[in-house]
Structures are given as structure tokens and as C-alpha cells.
Amino acid sequence: MKIAISSLENIAEAAQQFLHNTKNKSKVIAFHGEMGAGKTTFIKALSAELGVFDNVTSPTFSIVNEYHTNSKDSVFHFDFYRIDDLREAVDMGYQDYFDSGKYCFIEWPEKIEPLLPDDILHVEINIEDDNSRSILVKE
């Protein structure tokens, strides 16, 4: 599945489309893309569509942020960019989060590749020549 995001004006529509088309798939979602591709921006849009009322920011230094939704559910947002050793992810209890049944949005999943679940959903965010973004969902 490929979703085009021509500008920030249609990012909410892209997030709705993404959630609709992936609702029966894994809630552990790995976001791939170069620095500045829009991973955090798209995760913010997804979180808003899920009813998150917290301020969504990249958890670069805390590794994981927990957000709360209007329906009293949780969404977890990971940023493994600063992980240097898999033990750091193990020590912070990554498996409990991934096994929770809650949405787990993961930035820089490459850093913990051996720890990712088999049924994870991989999402590639690309910057197109016209500066728009494309979201490519891989299973």
C-alpha cells in the first residue's frame, strides 16, 4: 500500500487512510526513513486520529513516550536513534510494550532489528522530488 502526502494540509487524511487500511494488522509499527523524512510528523497525525490528547514529541532522549487517548487507552512512541547496545532496549522492557496489544510506533527500528517481532508492520517514508512524502507499507 502506498499513500501520498502532498502537503501538511492532507496529513490527517493520510493518517486516516493508513489506520483504516492497517486496522487488522500488527499494532507494532516500524517507521523507516532518513532524518527529516517526517516520521515524527506522521506519528503525530496517527496519534491525533487515535484520539491522543497529549503533546506528541519525539522521545529521542527518553527512548519511549506514553500518550493517552480520549478512550483512556495508551499509545507508545519509541525512538531508538541513540541506542548503542541492544541491552538498553532489553533493560527498558521493550518486550512488555510490544506485547501489550497497544499501538507501538517505532522510529529508528534498524537499531534494534534483532528484537523486532515477526509480525511487525514496516512503513517507509520517502521524500519525493517535489518535497511531498510517500508512505509505503510493507509487511
Q: What is the CATH number of the domain that holds 26?
A: 3.40.50.300
Q: Is 129 exposed, middle or buried (0-12, 13-18, 19+ CB in 10 A)?
A: exposed
pLDDT digits (tens, 9 = 90+) for 13-35: 999 999 999 999 999 999 999 99
Per-residue pLDDT, averaged over 95-103, amounts to 96
Distance CA 46, CA 118 (A): 22
How many domains would you assign to the chain?
1
Which residues span the domain enclosing 124?
2-138
pLDDT at residue 125 greater than cutoff 80: yes
How many Cβ atoms from other residues are within 10 Å of residue 134's Cβ? 16
